[in-house]
């Protein structure tokens, strides 16, 4: 079910259009009214009215090249992240994991059927990944996403997986629910998940769930080139590192 189908009949279209404008300017700044009107399929007068309102609220800035998002968006984003109760604990331990391994370390949560990255830290040997803070990626093709799915209640897991629209991102990407459920069973048994070049060719990731009581609220992982992230190293070393980091976050959250 699409977002539009889920909320049809209970939405305010003018608010939706304002957010479509924000999303368009997120992709590309310095865009004029005409280009935005063409992209979003609305009249220039309608687009201009929305932009003027967003400008009055300090959400967008008008420059010679066109409109862009204002730096107030950074303030909003930081506030959202800090509202996550144990963010400082997560930040400290993810940074430590990146420093110890030299790789990319990240923490993510499930939102709207995707993995959303709350924090990312870059080690001295790291290669760039698609796990930028705030960015959303599919659950089914990422180690963090699959790990969270595997540790949700069965009802919640089935609810999410029944709505997945699969896309083959690499030759290794899981593209059907049956195979995904089989993979999730294995993750649940061993306590960690692996992205075996399923999201980006040449990169592997290993992740462990982070729980509060019986509820999984996120996952912590490390990502690196498959040449360094051999299957043997993942099994014998890296999986223990992410599970150890997960345990520390859980303990500090429990007693904070």
Is the Cβ–Cβ distance between 131 and 154 less than 8 Å?
no
If you average pLDDT over residues 14-39, what whole number do you get? 93
Which pLDDT does position 223 carry in this prediction? 96
Is the Cβ–Cβ distance between 239 and 208 less than 8 Å?
yes
The Cα 199–Cα 168 span in angstroms is 9
Strands of the chain, DSSP E = 60-63, 66-69, 104-111, 114-122, 136-138, 193-196, 203-212, 215-225
Which pLDDT does position 131 carry in this prediction? 67
Which of 37-41, 68-72, 82-86 is predicted least confidently?
A: 82-86
pLDDT per position as a tens digit, 94-146: 999 999 999 999 999 999 999 999 999 999 988 877 667 878 899 999 999 99
Closest CA to 136 of 115, 119, 121: 115
The Cα 227–Cα 213 span in angstroms is 36
CA 146 → CA 90, 119, 137, 150, distances in Å?
19, 18, 11, 6
If you average pLDDT over residues 84-90, what whole number do you get? 84
What residue ranges do the domains of the chain occupy? 3-70, 80-254
The Cα 48–Cα 50 span in angstroms is 5
Confirm or reject CATH 1.25.10.10 for domain 3-70, answering yes or no: no
Which pLDDT does position 79 carry in this prediction? 84
If you average pLDDT over residues 41-65, what whole number do you get? 95
| pLDDT-derived band at 1, boundaries 50, 70, 90 | very low
Which pLDDT does position 173 carry in this prediction? 98
- 204, pLDDT greater than 70: yes
Percentage of the chain modeled with pLDDT above 90: 78
- 7, pLDDT greater than 50: no
Q: Which helix (H) or strand (E) holds 166?
A: none
The Cα 104–Cα 98 span in angstroms is 6
pLDDT per position as a tens digit, 150-168: 999 999 999 999 999 999 9
What architecture is the 80-254 domain classified under in CATH?
Answer: 2-Layer Sandwich (3.30)
């Amino acid at each position: 079910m699409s977002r539009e189908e889920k909320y049809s009949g209970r939405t305010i279209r003018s608010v939706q259009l304002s957010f479509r404008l924000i999303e368009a300017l997120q992709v590309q700044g310095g865009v004029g009214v005409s280009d935005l009107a063409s992209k979003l399929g609305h009249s220039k007068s309608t687009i201009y009215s929305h932009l003027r309102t967003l400008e009055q609220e300090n959400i967008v800035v008008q420059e010679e090249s066109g409109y862009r998002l204002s730096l107030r968006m950074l303030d909003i984003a930081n506030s959202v992240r800090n509202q996550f109760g144990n963010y400082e604990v997560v930040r400290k331990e993810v940074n430590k994991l990146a420093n110890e391994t030299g790789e990319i370390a990240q923490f993510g949560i499930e939102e709207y059927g995707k993995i959303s990255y709350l924090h990312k830290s870059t080690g001295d040997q790291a290669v760039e990944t698609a796990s930028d803070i705030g960015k959303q990626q599919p659950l089914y093709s990422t180690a963090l996403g699959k790990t969270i799915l595997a540790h949700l209640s069965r009802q919640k897991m089935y609810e999410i997986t029944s709505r997945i629209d699969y896309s083959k991102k690499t030759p290794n990407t899981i593209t059907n629910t049956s195979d995904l459920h089989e993979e999730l069973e294995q993750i649940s048994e061993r306590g960690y998940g692996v992205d075996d070049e399923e999201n980006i060719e040449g990169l592997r990731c290993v992740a462990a769930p982070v729980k509060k009581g019986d509820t999984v609220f996120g996952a912590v992982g490390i990502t690196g080139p498959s040449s360094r992230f051999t299957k043997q190293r993942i099994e014998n070393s890296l999986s223990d590192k992410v599970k150890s980091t997960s345990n520390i976050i859980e303990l500090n959250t429990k007693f904070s």
